[in-house]
Structure 1
Amino acid sequence: MDLGFVNAGYKIIWANDIDSDACQTYKNNIGNHIVKSDIANINLKDIPKCDIIIGGFPCQDFSLIWKRKGLSTERGNLYKYFVKVVQDKNPKVFIAENVKGLMTANKGKAIMQIKEDFENCGLYGYDLDIDIYNFADYGVPQLRERVLIIGIRKDINFKYRKPFPTHKPDEYVTSEEALQGVKKIPYNNEHQNIKKKTIEMLKLIPEGENFTAIPRNSPYYVKGMISHVYRRLHRNRPSTTIIAAGGGGTWGYHYLEPRPLTNRERARLFGYPDDFIFYGSIASVRKQIGNSVPPPAIKIIADYLKEVFAYKVYETLSKNSISYQQLSLSLNLDNSQEVNGGSEKN
């Protein structure tokens, strides 16, 4: 999410990631203020005070793709470290991002527990807005639905409302539009070596369809568990969700050529600029991109949240009387996030 906030004019003062390659990518594109560590090993005193905290917590235990165990797992409970940072720093705003499956994990009990924990943390508590965002609605060439938990500190007289979409379905940015001229970009544009059998399979799948289009009597017929298997782009539509990991036909495939997408093509489908260079192996870069949040969509939210920082809180002698004065503030941004096997990040 950081790049979207940087593009909106925020200053990031601290960041955290557990993955070495992701840290290198971050340092070379955003700044040297990132700390490589498991969030569980970070001393809260080492995290600076800030105005806003953004980040994600591991998503596999809430994902619709995987078998979900939600809060019953150690990884699923890593969100509590996010809560601890908010509790300690009392930012004016926080944004926590996760997969759509969070809303129904543990029969809805997971989101209710997470909501309660965030609402009651810190000196003042937080008013929450929890909603599902389809980033294609905000100009991203990808049908990517994610949950954003946005908290506004209760002593601030600001009601967050989800920004209106910038694009209607008939105005979505298409895959073909997003990939225009991408072959000329030298960075992260390596092609994978794939088996001849895979090429022949892809030739049987029309653009926009997946493994189910292969005839059952074909020697290339395969069984799959999820719709991502051998899913090809459709040139006149946004991409379907780009995932971070997995083999067996989950790489995402070009609409015209019978091949997997390059990482630069994946980055285009997230809205990354071509000069944003990712570091690591092809699989590592795929993971970094697939775990991230599309910067153009987050910038829209970051711009909208600037209004929060136009007010300063003054508490009078009466505990129930709080006045607000508009002023100009320099913004400090703290991105505290744990990336352990699938949290969304940028």
Structure 2
Amino acid sequence: METKNSVYSPKVVSIFSGCGGLDLGFHQEGYTTVWANDFAEWAVASFKRNFGDVIHMKDITKIDPYTDESIPDCDLVLGGFPCQDFSIIWKQPGLNGKRGGLFRHFAEFVDAKKPKAFVAENVKGLLTANSGKAIDTIVRDFESIAPGYVVKPHLYNFAEYGVPQFRERVLFIGVRIDTGFRFVHPKPTHGPNAGKPYFTAGEALEGVEKVPYNNERINIKEKTRQMLDLIPEGGNFTDIPKDSPLYVKGMISHVYRRLKLDEPAKTIIAAGGGGTWGYHYPEPRPLTNRERARLQSFPDDFIFEGSVTEVRRQIGNAVPPEGVRLVARRLLPLFTGEYETVDLMPEYELMKSMTVKERLDYVTAEMD
């Protein structure tokens, strides 16, 4: 895996690491993960194969970052905390209250290690969970960690940052107030309103058949093959004629969805039964895991461990590494010291007074 050389390699503590998509984007910009954790056996095996023996397979709820001396100090805490239990995450006040979700453990790592910055990732649905109360509580808990963090959430569509896939995720960037480093989210680089056209699925899959790793073809039933022959490029199950004996109804849009080669792929998903694998075009077949990895912007020398189903899960759950490289690059001066300090307190106080919508609008308006 190609990485950039830098005078100083910022040290990353990574939690909810998965197979390492988020870490890889930062590694490619010169960062080094010094400690990581996940609970999924095969994701841990993949992380270990690609990043070395720095990851620990352990239940995050059994780890105390305040007292565990094996967890080193770091410059950055990184991770995609799971989204379970948002229905009750906001019912208890303050970081020290008991939260009904795993977010609390991410916040505890930040509180214990006091990194100069943190990057947290989550699904788009977090923006509206509990009528916005979930994200509001998450942001305010992050802000309350001493000595205070300026927290800037933003909804990214990774296709707008060079990933051959339409995939929307929220990134929270938090910068410690006493650093004097003012972070601004980067503007999109790809798409109709940016400097480059989208990186398309067709471009991403060029030559993929030559890659020897994680590229097994999946056997499908003849009936499925016949269904795919009725679905055009970019189509899904709804394109099967209603008078066909192969017609199905009552499904969701990603079922039997085929690639459209001249645009980014739709969101790659991690699991599911018949019809959910994502399908090639023009060949009537499911995508291989290496094709999924290409659509997630993983390089070909990133090798995944586990069965076909386990590898699919890892790829579908991952953050596309290419999608976060600009964020990693934008944060790098904070760790090398190559920036002019500013007083962050006025912005910190301003943002604390904002509603979630006002904060999101503010963050979008300042992008450059």
Equivalent residue for 2:128?
A: 104
Give the superposition deviation at 1:223: 2.1
Equivalent residue for 1:326?
A: none
Q: Which of residues 24, 42, 49 in structure 1 aligns to 2:45?
A: 24
Structure 2 residue runs of 5 or longer lacking an equivalent are 1-21, 92-97, 340-344, 346-368
- Distance, in Å, in 1 between the alignment partners of 2:189 and 2:88 is 33
TM-score normalised by length of structure 2: 0.80
- 1:286-307 Cα offsets, whole Å, 9 max, x none, are 0101111111121221111012
Return structure 1 stretches of 4+ with deviation > 3 angstroms. 59-62, 69-76, 310-313
Q: Which of residues 160, 163, 167 in structure 2 aligns to 1:137?
A: 160
Secondary structure at the counterpart of residue 111 of structure 1: helix
Is residue 139 of structure 2 the alignment partner of residue 115 of structure 1?
yes
Equivalent residue for 2:72?
A: 48
Alpha-carbon spacing, 1:285–1:202, altered in 2? closer, same or farther (3 Å): same
Secondary structure at the counterpart of residue 155 of structure 1: helix
- Distance, in Å, in 2 between the alignment partners of 1:70 and 1:260 is 38
Equivalent residue for 2:175?
A: 152
Of residues 213-222 and 125-134 in structure 1, the stretch that sits farther from structure 2 once superposed is 213-222
Which residue identity is paired with 1:212? T
Equivalent residue for 2:296?
A: 270
- Distance, in Å, in 1 between the alignment partners of 2:315 and 2:157 is 17
Which residue identity is paired with 2:157? N
Q: Which of residues 89, 107, 110 in structure 2 aligns to 1:71?
A: 89
Alpha-carbon spacing, 1:225–1:161, altered in 2? closer, same or farther (3 Å): farther
Check whether the contact 1:54–1:95 (CA below 8 A) recurs between aligned residues. Answer: yes
Is residue 221 of structure 2 the alignment partner of residue 198 of structure 1?
no
Equivalent residue for 2:81?
A: 57
Check whether the contact 2:90–2:134 (CA below 8 A) recurs between aligned residues. Answer: no
- 1:226-257 Cα offsets, whole Å, 9 max, x none, are 21111111011100000111113111100211
Give the superposition deviation at 1:312: 9.7
Secondary structure at the counterpart of residue 267 of structure 1: helix
Which residue identity is paired with 1:146? R
Give the superposition deviation at 1:185: 0.7
- 1:292-339 Cα offsets, whole Å, 9 max, x none, are 1111121221111012124499xxxxxx9xxxxxxxxxxxxxxxxxxx
Give the superposition deviation at 1:168: 2.1
TM-score normalised by length of structure 1: 0.85
Which residue identity is paired with 2:63? I
Secondary structure at the counterpart of residue 133 of structure 2: helix
Structure 1 residue runs of 5 or longer lacking an equivalent are 63-68, 314-319, 321-346
- 1:147-185 Cα offsets, whole Å, 9 max, x none, are 001100111212211112221237001111000000111
CA RMSD across the alignment: 2.1
- Distance, in Å, in 2 between the alignment partners of 1:284 and 1:291 is 11
- Distance, in Å, in 2 between the alignment partners of 1:76 and 1:253 is 37
Equivalent residue for 2:94?
A: none
Equivalent residue for 2:361?
A: none
Is residue 204 of structure 2 the alignment partner of residue 187 of structure 1?
no
Give the superposition deviation at 1:225: 3.6
Secondary structure at the counterpart of residue 77 of structure 1: coil
Equivalent residue for 1:252?
A: 278
- 1:203-234 Cα offsets, whole Å, 9 max, x none, are 11111111111122211111244211111110
Check whether the contact 1:70–1:105 (CA below 8 A) recurs between aligned residues. Answer: no
Counting aligned pairs with the same residue, the percent is: 58
Is residue 257 of structure 2 the alignment partner of residue 231 of structure 1?
yes
Which residue identity is paired with 1:177? E
Equivalent residue for 2:239?
A: 213
Equivalent residue for 2:117?
A: 93
Give the superposition deviation at 1:61: 5.7
Give the superposition deviation at 1:70: 6.6
Check whether the contact 1:59–1:76 (CA below 8 A) recurs between aligned residues. Answer: no
- 1:22-52 Cα offsets, whole Å, 9 max, x none, are 1111111111100001111113123211110
Alpha-carbon spacing, 1:149–1:216, altered in 2? closer, same or farther (3 Å): same
Give the superposition deviation at 1:75: 9.7
- Distance, in Å, in 2 between the alignment partners of 1:79 and 1:120 is 14
- Distance, in Å, in 2 between the alignment partners of 1:192 and 1:103 is 36
Equivalent residue for 1:164?
A: 187
Give the superposition deviation at 1:195: 1.0
Check whether the contact 1:210–1:231 (CA below 8 A) recurs between aligned residues. Answer: yes
Is residue 101 of structure 2 the alignment partner of residue 83 of structure 1?
no
Equivalent residue for 1:3?
A: 24
- Distance, in Å, in 2 between the alignment partners of 1:97 and 1:224 is 32
Q: Which of residues 324, 329, 342 in structure 2 aligns to 1:298?
A: 324
- Distance, in Å, in 2 between the alignment partners of 1:209 and 1:12 is 40
Tell me: higher relative CO, structure 1 or 2? Use CA pairs within 8 A at least 6 residues apart.
1
- Distance, in Å, in 1 between the alignment partners of 2:99 and 2:276 is 23
- Note the 1:272-287 alignment, pairs <5 A: 272-287=298-313
